[in-house]
Amino acid sequence: MIRKKWLLGMAAVLGLALPAGAKDAVTTTTDSMKGTTMTKPVEKITKTEDEWRKELSSEQFRLLRKHGTEQAFTGEYAHTKDKGMYKCAGCGLELFTSDTKFDSGTGWPSYYMPVAGAVETTTDTAYGMVRTEVHCARCGGHLGHVFDDGPAPTGQRYCINSVSLKLDKTK
């Protein structure tokens, strides 16, 4: 049992998708507030570029599928204080709760913690910088970046494009 958990954890660290069923992959996240690691299966969505183009607006496609960034202070959710659940605009996966949203002063919606298992990260070396890019764990859509300059309790700032999100005020 310990070996299985170790293998699953290492696969997640290395970014490998291991089948947990016919369609599921394992995503491992660390709960920064409790210091524990949780493993939660997330059903992956795979679509062609043409399928994504048909389903998304041109701006959603540019940001979610081509790793774009919206201009600071222009996004729909940059200043909102509405309560609810922020979901991926590409696939509807629950990503962030409004309880974790804060005003970072950067011009993008910022959160100190995602929903467990909802996001994955990769290293982004574009534009001569090294940053940690944040993706939806289900559809792989580009959401934004995470930085280690956020508030307590995690010290992290998930800086997310509004176009990559849809706010569900019923949650």
Any idea which residues carry the catalytic annotation? 159
Q: Are residues 28 and 20 in contact, defined by beta-carbon separation less than 8 angstroms?
A: no
Q: Are residues 132 and 150 in contact, defined by beta-carbon separation less than 8 angstroms?
A: no
Token pair, residue 132, equals 């940690």
Where helices occur in 44-141 by DSSP H, the ranges are: 49-55, 58-60
Peptide bond into 19 cis (omega under 30): no
Phi-psi sector, 138: left (phi>0), alpha (psi -120 to 50), beta: alpha
Give the list of residues 6+ apart from residue 135 with CB closer than 8 angstroms, or none.
Answer: 119, 120, 121, 122, 141, 142, 143
Element (H, E) at 132: strand 131-136
